[in-house]
Amino acid sequence: MRLHRKIILTAEGARLFQKITLSFDLLSKELLDLKHQGVIGRLNLYSRPSFAQAWLAPRLGDFLDRYPGIDVCLSTGNDLIQLDELGVDIAINFGLLSLPGLTCTPLMNESITPVCSAHYADKFGLLNHPERLQGCRLLHDHRAWQRNSGNHEWQQWTEAFAISVTPASHLYCDQMALAVTTAVHHGGVAMGRMRLLEEKLQSGSLVAPFPDNILASPYGYALYTQQGTHWPKVQLFMAWIAEQVGSQG
């Protein structure tokens, strides 16, 4: 109906307009769902505590910014990975594991060397003098990997460089992050994993007093997923974390 150069819909026309509008709204929603299919929902991650705290958590914001349709649930622990029982999509482990029913994707290698605060290094005159570890307190991650005795990382390092150490005392922690926190606060010398401590070494909150004694660890970080087809959200995360590792160098 035309009235004074204006168009006014009849009652039947108004009903038809509402139906068409609703159809377009539903079509737009359907196209949006198709566009984001598989990259919406919840991604459950399980990680070794120290890797999650020192490396993964500081970077996760970038992943969430890129894929706002994905909610991430990050859990940590030292237990043997059981994806089915824990409802986990991706597990991140440090060490060598061959687990039935899981696909292992290597992520990055690691290297180790003792780390401490600059104050502690000065107190014991440690810079470039590893023999002066005698009498220091050694800090351990006794759950570094499955079947770790608690001394393995220190043993690997001292044997590699033929260094004999009789420490004053030991502190055993169930994750590297606790040993590192103790080291930052002048509590001793921790065996540091360089990939995880890059930021603390750059800021000076930790120092590596023996720069010529860095050992390539026999262990590294790996992703564990269910065998078979990966959900798109899993593929997106695996591609993203590989990119992060590549940018770290």
Give the pLDDT of residue 38.
Answer: 47
Residue 25 tokens read as: 């709204």
- In this predicted structure, the answer to whether residue 35 has a pLDDT above a threshold of 70 is no
Q: Is 86 helix (H, G, I), strand (E, B) or coil?
A: helix
Residue 64 tokens read as: 């969430």
Do 213 and 225 lie in one domain? The reply is no
Give the pLDDT of residue 145.
Answer: 72
Residues 149-163: tens digit of each pLDDT: 678 889 999 999 999
Residues 60-73: tens digit of each pLDDT: 999 999 999 999 99
- In this predicted structure, the answer to whether residue 128 has a pLDDT above a threshold of 70 is yes
Do 114 and 203 lie in one domain? The reply is yes
Do 144 and 160 lie in one domain? The reply is yes
Do 131 and 196 lie in one domain? The reply is yes
Do 49 and 105 lie in one domain? The reply is yes
Specify which of 26-30, 174-178, 225-229 reaches the highest per-range mean pLDDT. Answer: 174-178
Do 160 and 208 lie in one domain? The reply is yes
213 DSSP 8-state letter:
-
Q: Which residues, 6+ apart, have CB-to-CB distance to 223 below 8 Å?
A: 90, 91, 92, 104, 105, 107, 238, 241
Do 187 and 152 lie in one domain? The reply is yes
Q: Is 13 helix (H, G, I), strand (E, B) or coil?
A: helix
Give the pLDDT of residue 98.
Answer: 73
Residue 80 tokens read as: 């043997």
Q: Which residues, 6+ apart, have CB-to-CB distance to 112 below 8 Å?
A: 153, 156, 157, 191, 192, 193, 194, 214, 215, 217
d(CA 72, CA 63): 9
Give the pLDDT of residue 13.
Answer: 54
Do 67 and 92 lie in one domain? The reply is yes
Domain with 102, as residue range(s), is 41-109+220-248
Do 47 and 71 lie in one domain? The reply is yes
Q: CATH number for the domain including 70?
A: 3.40.190.10
Do 99 and 161 lie in one domain? The reply is no
- In this predicted structure, the answer to whether residue 23 has a pLDDT above a threshold of 50 is no
Least confident of 165-169, 170-174, 179-183, 207-211: 165-169
Report the domain count for the chain: 3
> Measuring CA to CA, which residue among 110, 205, 121 is closest to residue 157?
110
Give the pLDDT of residue 230.
Answer: 78
Give the pLDDT of residue 175.
Answer: 87
Do 157 and 237 lie in one domain? The reply is no
Predicted TM-score (pTM) of this structure? 0.77
